[in-house]
């Protein structure tokens, strides 16, 4: 007898509940006959499978039947599973062409016998069950950054929950194609969390495919954060002042906080040190870029301002640190006015000079 993997998913869920019953029975019963219990449960599971096979109108069979139909068009995208025809070398190409015409969506919808509102109800119910089942549901954003092959190493309820999430993702894609409606992600359907909590925590738009969103998630979970901010400074003094300011706002180690300070060691090195390449790479990684240079680099900043770097993130010093004795004082004065605004301790010129000598 053959059973589809989606049928077995719900069977695994039933087994999970039965194991819980075993633990409870063993705890509260002085005489617990384990062998008899297993026999009884075996009969129950056999009957359960027969019911799934024979009663096509049951709630679970509606879901299972739908998932079995959704498997062919969506499992490659969601579960990364494709079963090629061993007798046809072009089966993957034929499947790809078949999927592109999207006629399958209406066909599946018609065969399922479910209205769109029925699909939405089933989706919400499964999402509720998945969130209740998953012991690490609060880690859902982090789990979304992990490769599927690694997720399959999970155990128990956490692994079963991943199968639920796959089912929900396929259903969401199907609903989107037939109605144009975007369903809430399963983690946003968590009844214990406010809808849209991910946008509030990780920024808008929340897009797990974007580098920016991924980095925000990793920054939340990891001790050493990935680089999210790139600061380009002209020389040693600017770098030391920047680090001093950060220290005053409790950023002891900018690199561990996802901030990379790039000292180009003089505006004359703008071309030699390939700053364009650095900016291009930072943009590809969706980093926030800041650039602080003197008047000599005004043309360079003008070239990037409002294009590869946000205009408000560019600063041109009126004075040159290396040639003007008032340069450090001006920078420290501006820095201290900002620190004072946030009730932070000010920094002194002597501190910066000593730091530059190190």
Print burial letters for 293-303: b (CB count within 10 Å at least 16), e (below 16). bbebbeebbee
Q: Whole-angstrom Cα distance, residue 149 to residue 155? A: 13
Q: Whole-angstrom Cα distance, residue 24 to residue 171? A: 35
Per-residue confidence (pLDDT) for residue 45, from 0 to 100? 61
Per-residue confidence (pLDDT) for residue 324, from 0 to 100? 46
- In angstroms, the Cα distances linking 70 to 111, 178, 224, 232 are 11, 13, 40, 50
Q: Look at residue 24 and tell me whether its pLDDT is greater than 60.
A: no
Categorize the per-residue pLDDT at 59 as very low, low, confident or very high, splitting at 50, 70 and 90. Answer: low
- Decide: pTM greater than 0.75: no
For residue 348, which of 101, 150, 166, 335 has the smallest C-alpha distance? 335
Question: Average pLDDT for residues 70-76, to the nearest whole number?
Answer: 82
Evaluate whether 167 touches 174 at the Cβ level (below 8 Å): no
Evaluate whether 218 touches 277 at the Cβ level (below 8 Å): no
Per-residue confidence (pLDDT) for residue 159, from 0 to 100? 86
Please indicate whether residue 14 or residue 351 has the higher confidence score (pLDDT). Answer: 351
- In angstroms, the Cα distances linking 162 to 85, 130, 174 are 27, 8, 19
Per-residue confidence (pLDDT) for residue 139, from 0 to 100? 85
Q: Look at residue 343 and tell me whether its pLDDT is greater than 60.
A: yes
Per-residue confidence (pLDDT) for residue 325, from 0 to 100? 41
Q: Which pair of structure tokens corresponds to residue 278?
A: 């650095």
Neighbours of 94 (CB within 10 A): 12
Please indicate whether residue 356 or residue 205 has the higher confidence score (pLDDT). Answer: 205
Q: Look at residue 22 and tell me whether its pLDDT is greater than 80.
A: no
Q: Look at residue 327 and tell me whether its pLDDT is greater than 70.
A: no
226-279 confidence digits (pLDDT tens)? 888 888 888 887 788 788 777 776 777 888 888 888 888 877 777 666 788 888
Mean pLDDT score across all residues of the chain: 75
Tokens 């003197």 belong to: 294
The half-sphere exposure of 329 on its side-chain side, counting CA atoms within 13 A, is 3
206-218 confidence digits (pLDDT tens)? 888 888 888 888 8
Which runs of consecutive H residues, i.e. helices, occur in the chain? 5-28, 34-54, 59-78, 91-100, 104-112, 116-133, 140-143, 148-151, 156-179, 197-202, 211-221, 236-248, 275-284, 298-304, 327-341, 349-357
User: How many residues are given for the chain?
Assistant: 358
Categorize the per-residue pLDDT at 4 as very low, low, confident or very high, splitting at 50, 70 and 90. Answer: low
Evaluate whether 231 touches 328 at the Cβ level (below 8 Å): no
DSSP for 294-337 reads: EGGGHHHHHHHBTTTB-GGGEEEESS-TTT-TTHHHHHHHHHHH
Tokens 């990935």 belong to: 226
Per-residue confidence (pLDDT) for residue 356, from 0 to 100? 59
Q: Whole-angstrom Cα distance, residue 328 to residue 301? A: 21
Per-residue confidence (pLDDT) for residue 9, from 0 to 100? 65
Q: Look at residue 350 and tell me whether its pLDDT is greater than 50.
A: yes
For residue 286, which of 208, 212, 201, 202 has the smallest C-alpha distance? 212
Helix axes of 156-179 and 5-28: crossing angle, nearest 10 degrees? 140
Categorize the per-residue pLDDT at 23 as very low, low, confident or very high, splitting at 50, 70 and 90. Answer: very low
Per-residue confidence (pLDDT) for residue 334, from 0 to 100? 64
Please indicate whether residue 183 or residue 6 has the higher confidence score (pLDDT). Answer: 183
DSSP for 174-215 reads: HHHHHH-PPPPPGGGG-TTS-TTHHHHHH-SS--TTSHHHHH
């Amino acid at each position: 007898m053959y059973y589809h993997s989606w049928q077995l998913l719900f069977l695994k869920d039933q087994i999970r509940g039965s194991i819980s019953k075993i633990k409870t029975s063993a705890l509260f019963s002085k005489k617990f006959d384990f062998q008899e219990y297993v026999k009884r449960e075996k009969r129950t599971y056999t009957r359960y499978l027969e019911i799934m096979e024979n009663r096509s109108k049951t709630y679970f069979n509606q879901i299972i039947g739908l998932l079995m139909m959704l498997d062919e068009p969506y499992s490659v995208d969601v579960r990364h599973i494709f079963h090629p025809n061993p007798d046809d070398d072009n089966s993957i190409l034929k499947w790809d062409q078949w999927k592109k015409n999207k006629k399958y969506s209406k066909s599946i919808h018609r065969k399922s016998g479910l209205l769109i509102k029925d699909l939405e109800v089933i989706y919400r119910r499964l999402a509720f069950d998945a969130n209740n089942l998953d012991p690490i549901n609060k880690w859902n954003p982090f789990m979304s950054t992990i490769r599927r092959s690694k997720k399959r190493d999970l155990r128990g309820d956490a692994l079963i929950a991943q199968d639920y999430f796959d089912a929900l993702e396929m259903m969401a894609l199907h609903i989107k194609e037939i109605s144009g409606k975007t369903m809430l992600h399963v983690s946003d359907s968590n009844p214990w969390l406010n809808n849209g909590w991910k946008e509030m925590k990780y920024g808008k738009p929340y897009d797990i495919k974007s580098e920016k969103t991924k980095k925000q998630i990793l920054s939340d979970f990891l001790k050493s954060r990935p680089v999210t901010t790139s600061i380009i400074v002209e020389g040693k003094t600017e770098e030391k002042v920047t680090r001093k300011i950060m220290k005053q706002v409790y950023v002891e180690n900018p690199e561990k906080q996802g901030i990379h300070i790039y000292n180009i060691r003089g505006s004359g090195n703008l071309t030699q040190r390939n700053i364009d390449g650095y900016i291009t790479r930072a943009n590809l990684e969706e980093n926030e870029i800041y650039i602080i240079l003197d008047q000599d680099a005004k043309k360079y900043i003008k070239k990037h301002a409002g294009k590869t770097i946000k205009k408000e993130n560019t600063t041109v010093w009126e004075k040159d640190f290396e040639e003007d004795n008032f340069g450090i004082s001006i920078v420290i004065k501006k820095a201290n006015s900002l620190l004072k605004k946030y009730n932070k301790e000010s920094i002194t010129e002597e501190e910066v000079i000593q730091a530059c000598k190190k």
